[in-house]
Amino acid sequence: MSVIKEVEGRKILDSRGKETVEVRIKTDDGLVAIDSVPSGTSTGGHEDILVEPGLACKNINEIIAPQIIGQDVLLQNVIDQKMLEIDGTPNKARLGANATLGVSLATARAGALSAKMPLFWYLNRLFRKVSGVEIEPALPIPIMVMICGGKHGGPPRVDEGKHVEAGNNLCIQEFSVIGDLQTGKNIWHEIEKILKQRKIKYNLGLEGAFSAQLQYDEDALEIIDTAIKNLGLMLNQNIRLGLDIAGNNCQMTNENVINLWRNYNIYSLEDPFSERDWEKFGQLKIELSQANRDYLIIGDDLFATHKTLLQKGINDLVANGIIIKVNQAGTLSEALEVVSLAKKANYKCVVSHRSGETTDTFIADLAVGVAAEFIKSGAPIPKERLLKYNRLEEIKGEL
């Protein structure tokens, strides 16, 4: 048995240069587990509250630590519950979901060390307990963003004294390729070649995708299409396209969405509408299901990794996929409960990073542990994104 001896929260910087929280847990038998907390840029209205990182660390060190020191690290649910009790609000407004999540993830990592198991196996064991289902770990398929717009588009920047106009007009936040890592990397490089050939100015957005000076969303899709064809590839079961419209910031009609889906042979549509437009989601689902082709309507801001919202979505038939973001849920136990509910309703799960990331690879182990169908970790280029994909490659060897 390993008992928590020290819990320390401290501030680190994320991939956007913004402060976030890192938590270190030490046990009486000398184990050390460290995890950190991501955060979003296009955040939804139903996400749990992240408090200022300095305050989150203070809450960890002064309020949470004294309550969980002496606990067995294997008691994930007890520790998560304890934090919910101390917090006492419906959205972690007192402690901050960044405080609770950091402690929750580091507890699980310490638990895996104590159980002498790879993290993904340990998470799988926790997930079996939560869901009551004997599910085997499985590798997720990467959803890799290639071109970005919306809030991820990135403003024009000044480079070597020159103004490089690489902000873009695209409404859709993420234009992604769904497939294996190698294919994703090849397509990314081919897109860069095309942008250079066509003399289109570009920059890299928050997740390593191209923020290019394009006029229309269709231009981005045409470039991805050309890149795929240039490589002698084609869209099929192994290479698919996905969009995160991030509908809170990009207004589209049902017709707009269906036209894109049909004309560009798109598979997944994340947040096609605003988180307030439940009826539009439902209507889209009816229309796509009549079209006799695979589709995935994914709720991100719509569900905010919350059980109550997902249950409403299941009742109202609004989607068939869900984004799982641990920081939206605020504790690992709550995130596992959401995955469990999603699986029972036959929803496909997409474990996802945030645009503000750290080098933490927890989500790769989580995706495997719960056998999520997909993982979203940005373009396969920036270090903080690539580390998660590489961790999957490592797990592939271990499975």
Q: Counting beta carbons within 10 angstroms of the beta carbon of residue 180, is it exposed (0 to 12), middle (13 to 18) or buried (19 or more)?
A: middle
Q: Which of 26, 109, 285, 354 binds ligand PGA (CB under 6 A)?
A: 354
Name the token pair of 78: 């007890």
CA angle 85, 132, 68 (to 5 degrees): 25
The CA distance from 221 to 212, in Å, is 12
Neighbours of 150 (CB within 10 A): 23
Closer to ligand PGA at the Cβ: 143 or 239?
A: 143
Name the residue whose CB lies closest to ligand PGA: 40
Q: Which one of 114, 355, 358, 377 is in contact with ligand PGA (CB under 6 A)?
A: 355
CB atoms within 10 A of CB 128: 17
40 interface partner picked from ligand PGA, Zn ion, none, CB below 5 to 8 A per type: ligand PGA
CB atoms within 10 A of CB 125: 16
Any contact of residue 305 with ligand PGA (CB under 6 A)? no
Strands (E), 116-259: 141-148, 157-159, 162-164, 174-178, 202-204, 210-212, 240-244
Binding at 340: pick from ligand PGA, Zn ion, none (beta carbon under 5-8 Å per type): none
Cβ–Cβ contacts within 10 Å for residue 31, how many?
A: 18
**Catalytic status, residue 207:** yes
Q: Min. distance of Cβ 144 from Zn ion in angstroms?
A: 14
Report the C-alpha dihedral over residues 384, 388, 390, 396, rounded to 10 degrees: 180
Q: Can residue 275 be called a binding residue for ligand PGA (CB under 6 A)?
A: no
The single residue of 47, 207, 337, 373 carrying the catalytic annotation is 207
Task: Specify whether the CB–CB gap between 313 and 341 falls below 8 A.
Answer: no
- The tokens for 333 are 């136990």
> Which of 113, 145 has the CB closer to ligand PGA?
145
Q: How far is the CB of 277 from Zn ion (least distance, A)?
A: 15
C-beta of 308: minimal distance to ligand PGA in Å?
20
The one segment of 16-24, 41-49, 156-164, 209-217 that binds ligand PGA by CB under 6 A: 41-49
Cβ closer to ligand PGA: 186 or 352? 352
| Binding residue (CB under 6 A) for ligand PGA from 2, 42, 131, 331 | 42
Q: Is 289 left (phi over 0), alpha (psi -120 to 50) or beta?
A: alpha
Under the binding rule (CB under 6 A), the answer on residue 150 touching ligand PGA is no
Dihedral angle sign, alpha carbons of residues 254, 145, 35, 32: positive
Q: Which of 92, 151, 280, 325 is catalytic?
A: 325
Q: What are phi and psi of 147, to 5 degrees?
A: -130, 140
DSSP reduced 3-state for 250: coil
Compute the least distance from the CB of residue 387 to Zn ion, in Å. 21
Contacts (CB under 6 A) with ligand PGA, residues 235-264: 244, 246
Using CB under 6 A, pick the residue from 300, 337, 365, 384 that binds ligand PGA: 300
Are 8 and 23 in contact by the 8 Å Cβ rule? The answer is yes
Look at residue 355 and give the partner it binds from ligand PGA, Zn ion, none, a contact being a CB closer than 5 to 8 Å depending on partner kind. ligand PGA
Closest distance of CB 20 from Zn ion, Å: 19
Separation of alpha carbons 202 and 195, rounded Å: 8
Does position 190 interact with ligand PGA (CB under 6 A)? The reply is: no
CB of 245 to Zn ion, least distance (A): 8
Cα(68)–Cα(64) distance, integer angstroms: 6
By beta-carbon proximity to Zn ion, the closer residue of 127 and 210 is 210
Task: For residue 86, give Cα distances in angstroms to 11, 47, 178, 211.
Answer: 22, 19, 41, 43
Nearer to ligand PGA, 68 or 209 (CB): 209
Closer by beta carbon to ligand PGA, 131 or else 173: 173
Main-chain dihedrals φ then ψ at residue 7, nearest 5 degrees: -130, 125
Residue 48 contacts which entry, Zn ion, ligand PGA, none (Cβ below 5-8 A, type-dependent):
none
- In the complex, which residues of this chain contact Zn ion (CB under 5 A)? 244, 270, 300
The listed partner (ligand PGA, Zn ion, none) that binds 337, CB under 5 to 8 Å by sort, is: none
To ligand PGA, the closest distance from the beta carbon of 248 in angstroms equals 9
148 backbone dihedrals φ, ψ, rounded to 5°: -130, 155
Q: Which positions are annotated as active-site residues?
A: 207, 325
Binding residues (CB under 6 A) for ligand PGA: these are: 40-43, 244, 246, 300, 352, 354-355
